[in-house]
Structure 1
Amino acid sequence: MAPYASEDSQSQDQGPGQSARRRKAARYAVPVAVLGVAAATIGLVPALADSGDPELPKITAQELIEKIAASDTQQLSGTVKIHTDLGLPSFGGAAAGGLLGGGAGGGEDGGSSADPKEKLPELASGTHTLRIAADGETKQKLSILDDASEYSLIHNGDDVWAYDSKSDQAYHAKDTGAGDHGKKERSGEVPATPKELADEVLKASGDTTSITVDGTAQIAGRDAYRLQIKPKQSGSTVGAITVSVDAKTGTPLKFSLTPASGGAAVIDAGFTSVDFGKPAASTFDFKPSKGTKVTEADDLAKQGGADKAAPKGAEELDGLEGMDGLNVIGEGWTTIAELKLPKEAGDLASGSAAGSADLPPDAQKFLSSLGDQVKGDFGSGTVYSTRLVNVLITEDGKAYAGAVTKDALVKAADAG
């Protein structure tokens, strides 16, 4: 793979022909995308512990939010450590995240082990080392480093490549919307200035959220402010979200989500090294070697490969088809989604799905380990729990889900 070299450690300015709207899109998108790819969808291992609390000028929460919004970081490269602990079990060495999110194709039935939806769900559990690089909104690279292999996802212009060195397979797709988000009209949707954005964020937080500056830290050798976001409402499983922001550039360097129940962070991701120079153009080059199996996304779609890799019955859940609408209960951190499940899904309330022939043995163990029988005015059901998100499925086929406690779900079901 191409090296993560720096071509110009001082160059961060864009060409004079670039539109202000395009700069704004990249300004907001690049730092979020870098950590968000490990976020969305992650406490860090001891190696990521803060190495000191630097003395920095005092700053308010509003000023720090403005600083993030005003950040003009469009080029960077570095190494990220990510740790996720949702409290999901592992069976026979198989992570629960893989059971639910990916790994089904593995190159079989027309699929590809290099397909991002096969590989990226691995980030839902355990500790991973990533190398990232970004050069504006059309060039990004993310590599997941294992002991003896590497997986890379490269976006370069209108091409998206993914390569799995372990299986020597590549996946190629066309990004027909490359750069479009910088061209679309967004008037009335995005605040015009960083101050307006900060005002909107603080206004939206209202009575549900506390936003403060919780001191300083040193991340990847750089001085940073810690922006802490905490629910004011009771009943949420979220304890606090902390974002460490580079004091000089305003770029988020570390993200941590701790649960209300205490203990290690559920999600934690942060740079261990970072360079704000322009990555070398060769960083984003990729050409499959002779003998590499290449899967084209368009061909896979025509062959129905995605459908073949899906578990039996999954087509009924696609796009929430077969579900009787969605009802949102509550607001802020205690928001709960209520929906009516397809008839076949009602068995989950009694745990009978664990004996279904449609589920592999590991998935049966997985569901059984998460299930907790509950009763209330609504009847009976089963709560499937993680350290962050809980789901209640009732005997009459309704589902209640949110980053809330089990008691909050039961209360919502009773009210319903």
Structure 2
Amino acid sequence: MTRCRLCGSEAMASVVDLGATPPCESFLAADQLDQPEPAYPLHLRVCTDCWLAQIPPLITPEETFKEYAYFSSYSTSWVEHARTFVADAVQRLPLGPDAFVVEVASNDGYLLRHVVARGIRCLGIEPSVNVGAAAREAGVPTLTEFLDPATGSGVRADHGPADLVVANNVYAHIPDVVGFTRGLRALVADDGWVSIEVQHLLTLIEENQYDTIYHEHFQYYTVASAMRALASGGLALVDVELLPTHGGSIRLWARPAEAAGEPTRQVADVLAREKAAGLQELSGYTEFSVRVAKVRRDLLRFLVEAAERGETVVGYGAPGKGNTLLNHCGIRPDLLPYTVDRNPYKHGRFTPGTRIPILPPEQIAADKPDYVLVLPWNLRAELVEQLSFVHDWGGRLVFPIPDLSIVEVAS
């Protein structure tokens, strides 16, 4: 990567190099196991002019999202998060019976179903054919498209301007950040609101969350770099919320620049935290790769020593982030014979690169392993409760991030 995708600068500094891995959602069918599997460099750099952290756009969104393995509704806590957001937004803005809500990257309708239930007109824009079909089956109007300025203008012409545009966990997923932001501006009314949730680079670095670096995530935002990205499309940040989701996220409340007014005190407070952490100078990034290497060593040491003691370790979950971790650590079925997932789409498939089988969750109770390695560590509270049954045979849970921890669960 020679130029920043936001400001065009060539002043790019290395943050962490994770080697080469396959795309994290390219799960393999059994008949693909003897076929070649492409892998791409996974090297995070930061622009020292605008401080946007980013990886090279080596795969296109079209390659990733036309057929997608992630269905948001399989996470109970994420559906509840969406329900709460809708309830709060209806009060905050407010959204009356004549309002129009658009969600970009609306997945299987996990959020807009709550808008539909309130009788508010809405539309999802979702590029993945399979999950968009699931949303329509659930009664959520959904357009199968990628967002760009032309799509945004077309939706506005057909449906009118949106009072609220929601873009949760997609602002990192698009290499053309300027074009996407202009698409958001095309969708939203001149006095409307845009709500964006995206992982916070501050917590990613502070909490060693390096497994959230993968090819679908082209950029990694601080509030400071997000403000610059929003401005590129004519939007201005008004408020920010710090969220626990995905290990630490930011919810950005933006408006068209001409209607925005002054940002809240919370914006200034988070900017000050980022500056104090050194994220607007190279000093805030230099030790990250050292701490990443320790996560890898600690997890491998645990798995090898457990195998030598004759103890069994299986995985729980097959999230995209888990595939970054598995590939970076070089974990294969000899150390992790399988993982399980609630999503039936993944059953019978294999993790990309590491070729670990993915089975239904019931396999854990059938096998009674000594340890369960939890790959979606960001759902810790939810999964400690879901997996409490491993206590019945003395099993324990293992969380690899931010550092290795072994948890005794209560029955």
- Check whether TM > 0.5: no
* TM superposition score normalised by structure 2: 0.30
Structure number having the greater helix percentage: 2
Rg (Cα) greater in structure: 1
* TM superposition score normalised by structure 1: 0.30
Structure number having the greater strand percentage: 1
